[in-house]
Amino acid sequence: MPDGKLYKQGWSLDDIDWAKFDAAKVEPWMLAAIKAAALVEFNAPDYVAYLKRIFKDAGPETLASIEEWGREEGQHGRSLGRWAEMADPSFRLDETFARFHKGYRPAHFASMDEMSVRGSRRGEMIARCVVESGTSSYYSAIKDATSEPVLEEIAGRIAADEFRHYKLFFEMLHRQDEPDLPFWKKLLLAVGRITESDDDELAYAYYCATVPAGQEAAKPYVRTAFAKAGYNTTLRIYRRRHIRKLTQMVAKAVGVDPQGRLTQLAEALLWRMLRARAGLSGVTADAAARS
Average confidence score pLDDT of the chain? 90
Residue 45's pLDDT band (cuts 50, 70, 90): very high
Poorest-pLDDT segment among 55-69, 70-84, 149-163, 262-276: 262-276
| Environment class of 256 (CB within 10 Å of its CB; exposed 0-12, middle 13-18, buried 19+) | buried
What is the number of H-type helices and E-type strands within the chain?
A: 13, 0
Give the per-residue pLDDT at 107: 78
What are the angstrom distances between the C-alpha of 215 and each of 89, 93, 208, 209?
18, 17, 10, 12
H-only helix segments in 88-120: 93-103, 107-110
Give the per-residue pLDDT at 188: 92
Residue 276's pLDDT band (cuts 50, 70, 90): confident
| Helix 93-103 × helix 60-87 angle, to 10° | 120
What DSSP designation does 181 have?
P
Q: What is the pLDDT of residues 182-197, one digit of tens each?
A: 999 999 999 888 877 5
Give the per-residue pLDDT at 273: 84
pTM of the model: 0.91
For residue 177, which phi and psi values (nearest 5 degrees)? -90, 10
Pick the CATH number of 23-288 from 1.20.1250.30, 1.10.620.20, 3.30.70.260, 3.30.70.370: 1.10.620.20
Q: Say yes or no to pLDDT of 2 above 60.
A: no
Neighbours of 192 (CB within 10 A): 14
- Residue extents of the structural domains in the chain: 23-288
Q: What is the mean pLDDT of residues 123-150?
A: 96
3-class secondary-structure state, position 160: helix
Distance of CA 152 to the CA centre of its chain: 17
Residues of the chain with pLDDT > 70: what percent?
Answer: 93
Q: Say yes or no to pLDDT of 1 above 60.
A: no
Q: Say yes or no to pLDDT of 283 above 80.
A: no
Q: What is the pLDDT of residues 79-124, one digit of tens each?
A: 999 999 999 999 999 999 999 999 998 878 878 888 898 999 999 9
Give the per-residue pLDDT at 6: 65
Q: What is the pLDDT of residues 83-95, one digit of tens each?
A: 999 999 999 999 9
